[in-house]
Amino acid sequence: MPKHLIKRFAPDHESIRKHKHLRIFGRLLHDPNLWHMNRRSVSGAFAVGLFWAFIPVPLQMIGAAATSIPARVNLPISVALVWITNPLTIPPMFYFTYLVGTWVLNTPPPSNDFEMTMEWLTGSMSLIWQPLFLGSLICAIAASVVGYCVIRLLWRLHIIQHIKRRHQLRKQRSGAEQCGD
């Protein structure tokens, strides 16, 4: 993966350190390993961020940061990836995780009519919490493993392509030097 592309979209150090919810980590945010851009750090950050994006809890950024710090993976990427779940994507993502949970538990979805209201959600939570959280955990683990592997693979392919390009340039230069002699 090109570092420049990732750096363009990742938040900078200061905005993360000064974020009101992440200030609780204090001096832990000064570890330089949390800001490195290498294959291990970025792929680990994708795993952490994608995991927390699928966990239906408020303030997922704190969970991503709390996991990134001891894992010593790129903090800005981890925190930014939890925003995959946003007001537009939350309903379809968590409905999907709920369906995964009902499938694994072999329970039928409740037959009452779905309404996108807080009253329906609070009234139905006693029926849906188990499949929702189990499906979310399964999807979180699957997304983090896939994200980790895909980023490692893309990074490796990018490095291989870079090495091949550099090798071709060397051949061209040595060929041009031999022709010039």
Whether 86 has a pLDDT exceeding 70, the answer reads: yes
CA distances from 132 to 65, 75, 77, 90 (A): 23, 27, 26, 12
Whether 2 has a pLDDT exceeding 60, the answer reads: no
pLDDT band at residue 82 using 50, 70 and 90 as cut-offs: very high
Q: What angle do CA 26, 53, 114 make, to 5 degrees?
A: 135
Please provide the size of the chain in residues: 181
Per 3-state DSSP, what percentage of the chain is helix, strand, and coil (rounded to 5)? 80, 0, 20
Given this model, what pLDDT does residue 139 score?
97
pTM of the entire predicted model: 0.76
Whether 31 has a pLDDT exceeding 80, the answer reads: no
Whether 57 has a pLDDT exceeding 60, the answer reads: yes
Tokens of 95: 């409905």
- Quick one: how far is CA 112 from the chain centroid? 34
Tokens of 1: 């993966």
Tokens of 41: 């750090």
Given this model, what pLDDT does residue 170 score?
85
In whole angstroms, give the CA distance from residue 130 to residue 142.
18
In whole angstroms, give the CA distance from residue 7 to residue 9.
6
In whole angstroms, give the CA distance from residue 116 to residue 75.
34
pLDDT band at residue 91 using 50, 70 and 90 as cut-offs: confident
Given this model, what pLDDT does residue 27 score?
65
At 119-160, the pLDDT tens digits run 766 777 777 889 999 999 999 999 999 999 999 999 999 999
